Chain A
């Protein structure tokens, strides 16, 4: 533990990368996942098929292989993130970070899609019918009536998906992002005698972050429950 306390800024900075990975991938995965969910429940057969194939593919592939694809295979096809070079304070966001965000976002979006779809299925059919009967086109039916209600039913499963994402950011350690787990390894390398307490320090970090996500999800859930009761 002493090793971590001695270099606490490094500990915090590492979790800073974890938080950045989580927030950026979280937002992107929610956006892509929403589009995918709309495609899967929509009236266009081709889009339904595309979204279904995408979801099965990403959901059934281990995350580390998605990372490996964007780290090693995608560059062969000209998909590179070398252009990315942003610094905010002590944080440098480079190609590794870009590839990690893309991998995490695409992977997580498949789960977001399924969480939202279960929410859509929880919305009674009559809601969409009433919206169609008013003359709303498909897009309006979805954005005005179905998705807002689906989002409510989806908050608990979406929270689980986002918590999984938070922990999945650790895979980025293997691909050159200096996030928490990568920092933990470097602490371990220098202080082999403190392995257990170093692990404990990082577990505490993750627990705190997960609790923050749970807290916000519980608040969202409560707020929406009150208004519809």
Chain B
């Protein structure tokens, strides 16, 4: 993986530090449940933000609003200064620019590993098949599953599947990558192989929003930790300060609980 380090991803078109994803005053309700409460969050180009918080605090929902898999009821979300499109072609185009990695991998069960990675580039970006195949092989190589290209997802371990899912998202050259608990469905021995890929990605300057409870990852790769509780951002800080000296009682309580395990 290190051999490729000097070869940073394209897609980093904006100067580092400029705001890439901006949520302002975002509210969302599920019926009576106020699941996102006045969320203000600005993620800069190249920044890695870890979102942490108790179950049900709205982390997944927040993540999913950024590529509009969930709609919002109030406020605005912009990508590179442009508001997210409501629907149709423009929305599909936006989603192509935002990579997403799910907790349950969601690889296309009826397609081979290679086809999983080339589907987006060929069908959405209309890349020629040969070109898409070549790039897919490079990405599979990079995440360490190149020799599995002809297999089907069910034939791979969870860790391998999640690495393929990351390659599938990267194949679209996304401007930002969203990760929703990418390692929490994995057996312990597979967690580190996925985290390594993510750390590598962070080093190459990918803008990332990562919902995770992996403190090791947060400490190594994150620029900022966002702590959510009851649908609101309760605290934001750099990882070191957050983990060693949380400010709010909610965060102290939460860290106390996860550190015990």
Interface 9-residue window, one of B51-59, B106-114, B133-141? B106-114
Determine which of B99, B152, B168 lies in contact with A228 in the assembled complex, contact meaning CB atoms within 8 Å: B152
Is A133 a contact partner of B104 (Cβ separation < 8 A)?
no
Determine which of B96, B107, B123 lies in contact with A144 in the assembled complex, contact meaning CB atoms within 8 Å: B123
In the complex formed, the residue of A with least CB distance to B89 is A137
A48 at the interface (CB under 8 A from B): no
Interface 9-residue window, one of A17-25, A109-117, A123-131, A177-185? A123-131
Is A228 a contact partner of B123 (Cβ separation < 8 A)?
no
Cα distance A229–B67 when bound, in Å?
A: 31
B152 contacts which chain A residues (CB < 8 A)? 227-229
- Encoded as 1 (CB less than 8 Å from any B CB) or 0, chain A from 125 to 168 comes to 01101111111110010001100110010000000000000000
Binding site for B on A (CB under 8 A): 124, 126-127, 129-137, 140, 144-145, 148-149, 152, 224, 227-229
In the complex formed, the residue of B with least CB distance to A227 is B152
Is A126 a contact partner of B120 (Cβ separation < 8 A)?
no
Cα distance A224–B107 when bound, in Å?
A: 17
- Please judge, given known A-B contacts A144-B119, A228-B154, A229-B154, whether A135 and B95 are in contact too, CB under 8 Å: yes
List 17 contacting pairs A-B, 8 Å CB cutoff, sorted by A: A127-B108, A127-B109, A129-B69, A130-B107, A131-B108, A132-B92, A133-B67, A133-B100, A134-B124, A135-B94, A135-B95, A135-B124, A137-B89, A140-B123, A144-B108, A227-B152, A228-B109
- Please judge, given known A-B contacts A144-B119, A229-B154, whether A133 and B110 are in contact too, CB under 8 Å: no
Is B69 a contact partner of A134 (Cβ separation < 8 A)?
no
- Encoded as 1 (CB less than 8 Å from any A CB) or 0, chain B from 169 to 187 comes to 1001000000000000000
Is B119 a contact partner of A134 (Cβ separation < 8 A)?
yes
B127 at the interface (CB under 8 A from A): no
Q: Assuming A129-B102, A145-B110, A228-B154, what are 11 further A-B pairs, CB within 8 angstroms? A: A127-B108, A132-B69, A133-B169, A134-B168, A134-B169, A135-B124, A144-B119, A145-B119, A148-B110, A149-B110, A228-B110
B241 at the interface (CB under 8 A from A): no
A224 contacts which chain B residues (CB < 8 A)? 110
Cα distance A133–B93 when bound, in Å?
A: 10
**Smallest CB separation, B82 vs chain A (Å):** 15
Counting contact residues on chain B (CB < 8 A from A), the size range is 20 to 34
Is B110 a contact partner of A136 (Cβ separation < 8 A)?
no
- Encoded as 1 (CB less than 8 Å from any A CB) or 0, chain B from 83 to 97 comes to 000001100111111
List B residues 143-158 near A (Cβ within 8 Å): 152, 154-155
Is A130 a contact partner of B124 (Cβ separation < 8 A)?
no
Cα distance A124–B120 when bound, in Å?
A: 19
B96 contacts which chain A residues (CB < 8 A)? 134-135
In the complex formed, the residue of B with least CB distance to A134 is B120
Is B95 a contact partner of A126 (Cβ separation < 8 A)?
no
Is A126 a contact partner of B106 (Cβ separation < 8 A)?
yes
Cα distance A130–B108 when bound, in Å?
A: 8
Closest 8 CB pairs of A and B: A135-B96, A130-B106, A126-B106, A134-B120, A133-B100, A135-B95, A135-B124, A137-B92
List B residues 169-225 near A (Cβ within 8 Å): 169, 172
- Please judge, given known A-B contacts A127-B108, A129-B106, A140-B124, whether A134 and B154 are in contact too, CB under 8 Å: no
A132 contacts which chain B residues (CB < 8 A)? 69, 92, 95
Cα distance A137–B119 when bound, in Å?
A: 13
Cα distance A102–B260 when bound, in Å?
A: 69
Q: Which of A135, A140, A224 has the most CB of B within 10 A?
A: A135
**Smallest CB separation, A105 vs chain B (Å):** 28
B92 contacts which chain A residues (CB < 8 A)? 132, 135-137
- Please judge, given known A-B contacts A136-B92, A137-B92, A227-B152, whether A127 and B123 are in contact too, CB under 8 Å: no
B102 contacts which chain A residues (CB < 8 A)? 126, 129-130
